[in-house]
Amino acid sequence: MKPLRIGLLGIGTVGGGTFDVLTRNAEEISRRAGRPITITHVADKATALAEKVVAGRATITDDAFALVKNPDIDVIIELIGGYGIAKQLILEAIANGKHVVTANKALLALHGNEIFAAARAKGVIVAFEAAVAGGIPIIKALREGLVANRIEWIAGIINGTTNFILSEMRSKGLSFTEVLKTAQAKGYAEADPTFDIEGVDAGHKISILAAIAFGIPLSFVKAHVEGITKIEAKDIRYAEEMGYRIKLLGLARRREAGIELRVHPTLIPAKRLIANVEGVMNAVLVKGDAVGATLYYGAGAGASPTASAVIADLVDIARLIDADASHRVPYLAFQHDRIGTEPVLSMDDVETSYYLRLRVDDKPGVLADITRVLADNQISIDAMLQKEPEEGEAQADIILLTHETIEKNVKRAIAAIEAQPSTSGKIVLLRLENLA
């Protein structure tokens, strides 16, 4: 059978890893795919660097648009990243009848609905396993392995940079700023780490997972996204004392009124497996009505793990390229005319448990005033930790864990408690998920 001919856009870290793995394991991959898979053309502005990687085994060009129009190419791998030129190239590739593999979670989260519509009209495949959680095959698990299930919720540690920072803060008692510098020095964080530490990267990924799990359009613009920049070492320490660990969690949950879609620092019971995922590793926990909870763990980034996912998509395309388009797995798991219309809920309507840290006067009656406000807002306390005032101080930290309640009730209660003269400064709010 004739080889599947690949055009690679971008031969940086992941592109180089893809070229290396595909070349190194060519025979094994061919045996699985039923035909050879060969990168025949590479487009990159840094042609000299591309030549070093390719070493004469593929044609190099700096004209990506010429490559996506090349009639001798069957599949385009897009590893450029970003929203601009990458989108134009993918749409041009689709218009020219090319199948597409991409690791571009940001592009899909924002423009995936348009891209999938264009691909469906042209009858080509858009595959994106590498867009979420690197080498973990979570897209395939949701689209195919768990197809019999009504997915109830997904909770994921899907950003290695933030997981490394929180792990180091917990194990070494360091501040966020100190650990961020370490992460940058080790290459785990970019010089501008905003997308990671502000939760945007995780927001892109959980939006993709939610669309596949629940059969809804990609809805990143409606997601609640919060990062870890305000996490203090003392909150990590207090959470640990109460049996919890703080992780940046991407969470999507089906409710009667709609879909919760959110990213934020979250307390998770330390006894849960996902709470013990440390360093730059990723993990995704999926709860289905038939299978129960299933956990997927592994490297969420890096040249070889991401290449593993890219090549898995290539093998799928090699197997399906001659199949009728109507017999392929739908891009978002559900048939395009059966995509749902459930709304994404605002954070005010989200129902979860909460961690509240208050700085209050150390005197009789203060706690009673606080519990009264909570009760007035239908909030019940699950656990409490009261710290002794430091020497010479008249105020102390009180940490409250609540039972599940509606977020707007919590916000209303916080405003009332902060208005009391016995409360100092702002109350720290973190959300808590038991993931039982």
Angstrom distance (rounded) from CA 127 to CA 330: 10
Adjacent-strand bridge partners of 12? none
Q: What Cα–Cα distance (Å) separates residue 285 from each residue in 119, 145, 254, 360?
A: 30, 14, 14, 37
Q: Which residue out of 205, 287, 387, 426 is catalytically annotated?
A: 205
Query: Under a CB-based contact definition with an 8 Å cutoff, are residues 7 and 70 in contact?
Result: yes
CB burial string 185-223: b at 16+ within 10 A, e below: eeebbeeebebbbbbbbbbbbbbbbbbbbbbbbbbbebb
Q: Which among 320, 323, 330, 328 is positioned nearest to 34, based on CA atoms?
A: 320
Query: Under a CB-based contact definition with an 8 Å cutoff, are residues 128 and 313 in contact?
Result: yes
Report the DSSP pairing between strands 99-102 and 75-78.
parallel
CB within 8 A of 267, min separation 6: which ones? 239, 244, 245, 246, 355, 401, 430, 431, 432, 433
CB within 8 A of 17, min separation 6: which ones? 302, 303, 304, 306, 307
Angstrom distance (rounded) from CA 81 to CA 99: 17
CA 167 to chain centre: 17
Q: Can 247 be counted among the known catalytic residues?
A: no
SS3 percent helix, strand, coil of the chain, rounded to 5, is 40, 25, 35
Catalytic site positions:
205
